[in-house]
Each structure stands twice: as C-alpha cells, then as structure tokens.
Structure 1
Amino acid sequence: MLVDSHCHLDFPDFDGERSELIARAKAAGVELMVTICTHVRKFDQVRAIAEEFDNVYCSVGTHPHNAGTERGIPVDEIVRLAAHPKVVAIGEAGLDYFYDKAPREAQAEGLRVHIEASRQTGLPLVIHARDADEDMAAILREEMGKGPFPALLHCFSSGRDLALTGIELGLYVSFSGILTFKRSEELRDIARDLPANRLLVETDAPYLAPQPRRGKRNEPAYTAMTAAVLAETRGVSEAEIARQTTENFFRLFKKVPNPAKLTQVAAQ
C-alpha cells in the first residue's frame, strides 16, 4: 500500500475525470490520498471532493502564493474548518521566494498563523519551502520554541541543511517526482541519508510528474514511480519503502483511520 500524501484533486486539470483518476491510483497500489487546499476561501471545493471519495482526505490552508490575497484570515477560522472529519492537515503554507507571488512579510505572517492552527488542532502542518531555506529554518526554530507542532516539509527540493533542521525539530520530509529527475543527484543523496521513519512520498499532482512521465500531467497513481526511485536510492525493496512511508504517514496524519489497525480490531 502507498499513500499520496499531497495532491491537488480540486484543480481543473482533473475536472470530469476524478473517479477514473482515483481508480487508476488504486490499481497502482495507491490506496489513500490527501488533496491539499491552497485557498481557504475555496476550501468548500476541496472538502467536497474529500466527502465524495472514501479514500480521499484533505487539508485547509493558504498557499504562500496566495498569502497576499488571503491575508488576515484568523487562526480561529482555520481551526473551525479543520474540525471537519475529512480534514487531516493544515496548509499548505510556507515561503516561496522563487516566484515571490505574495509579499514576503505576508508569507511569513501566514505561515505563523498556520503553525498556530497546527498547534491548536494537533494536525500536521504541510510546509511549502522554495528558495527560502534560511528564513524557513529560522521561523521553524523560533516557532517550535514557543510550543511543538507536527509538520512535514512537502515536495522537498531544498538543501541538506533545511532537511536536517527539519529532522532535528521532529518534522517529516516528503519527496515528489523531482526525486526521479536526472539532475536530482544531490536530492537523492539527501533522501538516502535521512532517517527511514521520517520519509513520505507524494505527487503534488497535477505538477511534477516523475520520470518517465516528466512534462506530462501528474496524477496520484504515479506515486509508485517516485517510491520506486526512493527504494533504489536507499538500497531497499519497493515493498519496504511502501511499508515504511505508509507507516510514517499514519504516524503523522493521526486523524486518518489506519485500515491495518481497523482490520486488527475487527479480528479480535
């Protein structure tokens, strides 16, 4: 069993095809997926998809690209929306200095709001970090000093120092199709060296399709391709990577029912 811990099923790329998309994922061994919110003001669309499909869960939050237009959304509103049974994470929120689509102060402000929502709910914060390693590390250290919160660095493509800072602070690290790209040797070196009990896999679909699908629309079924490269990178079997990343997922995303545990309880 694999889990796509981060995709965007509400995006128009998948309109009219979501049932088939989810069926293809299941056929590829991807039993669960989390569709990630990028606009709190559009959360209803994300929630509706999670409600429609038993094996789809969701988050609530504002992507750093949208931090300027959704500035001022209070912690209490995010916490209230997160009470829905299908909401299992906060975010994605973070810092993106590559595109700089929102003022950096708005991105940092939004990140801190989402961190507090994660603290209050106990739900993991999905962190977006691009070309902002130093500022991200500084904010994470400062905020963790105010009180712990669960989190993961999603679609990791940053430097080794941020990965190690995340591990030190108790975060998880998720790898996407970027791991499979030919020029991602440095990223694979990082993935090889991180603790096995902190690794997750994802697609970030519809973006970042792994090799050999690079350049085409990504979808949750392709989680298996990234997992295969992660297994090869770490010198273990694909079955072992599937087992470990799925265990890690349920340890972090505690609100998602674990089918293995439900089966054990039913058998007792």
Structure 2
Amino acid sequence: MLVDSHCHLDRLDLSPFDGSLDLALDAARQVGVKQFLCVAINVDNQAAVTKLAENHPDIYASVGIHPLYTQGQMVDNNYLVNQAAHEKVIAIGETGLDYYYAKESKPEQQMLFRTHVQAAVEAELPLIIHTRDARQDTLDMLKAEGAEKHGGVLHCFTESLAMAEEAMAMGFYISFSGIVTFKNAQELQQVAKEIPADRILVETDSPYLTPVPFRGKPNSPRHVVDVARFVASLREENFEQFCLQTTQNFNRLFPTGLKT
C-alpha cells in the first residue's frame, strides 16, 4: 500500500491511458497506490482539484498558490481559510519560495508565503512547501509565522540534510520525488539515507519528474512505486515495510478523515 503524497491530476498527460483519468488512477491502484493528494497551484485550478477529490474517495485536495504563479494571484488569508473548509481539503499549499526560476517576484512570493503559513495556522492544517534556492528565507519565515503548530512537508526535496533537519525540528516531513532516482542526484540520495523513517514521504509530482528508468515518458501516480522502491533500496529497507511506513507517515501528518 502506497500514497502518492503530491501529484497534479488535473495536469496529467493522459495519452498513455486513452485520454482517461480513471484509467490512469486504476493503473496506480493496480500496483498498490491507495491514496492521492492532488495539489492546487493557483486560483484558476482550485475548483478542478477540489472537484476531483469530491468525485473520488481516495483523492484528497489542497488549496494554495505556487510561488511561480504569483501574478494576479495575491489572495488573502480569508480566501485560503474558506477554501480549506472543504471536507476533502487536507493541506495548505503548495506554497513557498522559488528564487531559482522567479527571483524577480521575491516580494510577492514572500507576501503570499506568509499569508499561506498564517492561513495554515488558522485552519489547523499542514503546509505543502516548495523551496528552491531559498533555504534560509524559507526556514526563517516558517519559524516567524509559527508553522511548527501544524507542520507540513517539504515536497520534492532537493536541498541539504541541514535544511531537512531544521524543518523536521519544526514538525515537517521530507518527501522524495523521481529526482532522487536521477544519476546526478548523489547528494540527494545521501540525504534520503539519513532521514528518519518516520519522517519520509514519497511522491510523483506528476506530470513532472518521471523517475528512472522511465525518464522522457509522461509521469503519473503509478510511478510512485518506482520512487518508493528506489528509496527503500537506498536505505536497505524492506520494500513492503517502507511502503507501510510512508503510508503511516502520510496519515499521521494529514487529516484524511472527513471534517465535521
């Protein structure tokens, strides 16, 4: 049993599945993927993400603005908290800071990030964090806004062990995507070996970042099995036990029971 803890189901390339999202989901279910967290990236796709969760009992949703989608997306705390009241929304994000691709929007990113952390505290939900080339600012803002109250996950992790340790001290989990399987990811692979077993999640971030040996082909949630198998092997852990552990971690972090 596995969870794809971060995917963008509304953006999948469905050509390998005859254009059917149901077939893509069934392909994942057939290899043991039992839950999916479909992550929002902006106001424009929020309704689609939430609708997918409404229509499938094994799909959950988030609410948030990705740091690369700040233009025209300066939502306030009320918007996020109100959207998060939906019974299938289990996280705030993805949010964060990306100075690699969009350093020019740094002020807007920081403003939105702060708003997301505040909303997560108010809504009592964990955060989904995207961070790239912004390690210290990410950590500093999480600390300043009280993110440790409900924690969250540093998704698609590509940073240092030191950053992971600081984040884990605030109650965050560390999630690995297909990047960890890449040949040039030796430093990240070493980090994956060091993270405590009870703090690891796995994801596809599909349709992006297809793992080896499928690079160059469309990514989908079924490939979370390949990520999990690779990380379990790196850590010299039993694959089935690793799957169980990461599923338990997901359900410990996220409020997957329906809200009342």
**What residue in structure 1 maps to residue 234 of structure 2?**
233
Partner of 2:83: 81
What is the identity, as a one-letter code, of the residue corresponding to 2:2?
L
Task: Find the aligned partners of 1:59 and 1:101 in 2 and give their Cα distance.
Answer: 25
Shift of residue 14, structure 1, vs aligned partner: 3.6
Q: Report the equivalent of 1:32.
A: 35
Cα deviation code 1:33-86 (max 9, x no counterpart): 011000124311111111222211110110001123201x11111111111111
Question: How many angstroms does 1:141 deviate by?
Answer: 2.3
Whole-Å Cα distance in 1 between the matches of residues 215 and 12 of structure 2? Answer: 19
**Is 1:115 matched with 2:117?**
yes
In structure 2, the partner of 1:196 is: 197
Q: Which position in structure 2 is the counterpart of 1:49?
A: 52
Q: Distance in 2 between matches of 1:44 and 1:101?
A: 28
Compute the RMSD of aligned alpha carbons: 1.6
Q: TM-score scaled by structure 2?
A: 0.94
The sequence identity of aligned pairs, in percent, is: 40
Q: 2:2 aligns to what?
A: 2
Going from structure 1 to structure 2, the CA distance change for 1:234 and 1:12 (only over 3 Å counts) comes to closer
Per-residue deviation, 1:101: 6.9
**Structure 1: which amino acid aligns with 2:10?**
D
Q: 2: distance between equivalents of 1:102 and 1:46?
A: 28
Higher relative contact order structure (alpha carbons within 8 Å, sequence separation ≥ 6): 2
CA deviation profile, 1:218-262 (whole Å, cap 9, x unmatched) = 1000000000111011111111110110000000012346xxxxx
Paired amino acid for 1:114: H
- Stretches of structure 1 that go unaligned for 5 or more consecutive residues are 258-268
Distance 2:10 2:179 in 1: 22
Corresponding residue to 1:64 among 55, 61, 67: 67
1:1-268 aligned within 5 A:
1-11=1-11, 13-14=13-14, 16-71=19-74, 73-100=75-102, 103-144=105-146, 148-256=149-257
Structure 2 gaps, min length 5: none
Indicate conservation of the 8 Å contact 2:12/2:207, yes or no. no
Q: C-alpha separation between the residues in 1 aligned to 2:237 and 2:166?
A: 25
Question: Is the Cα–Cα contact under 8 Å of residues 199 and 248 in structure 1 kept in the other structure?
Answer: yes
**Contact persistence 1:90–1:126 (CA under 8 A):** yes
> What's the CA shift string for 1:107-141, capped at 9, x where partnerless?
11111111111111121110000111121122122
How far is 1:12 from its partner? 5.7
Q: How many positions carry a matched residue from both structures?
A: 255
CA distance in 2, matches of 1:181, 1:12: 21
Give, as a single letter, the amino acid of the residue that structure 1 aligns with 2:31: A
CA contact under 8 A between 2:3 and 2:33: conserved in structure 1?
yes
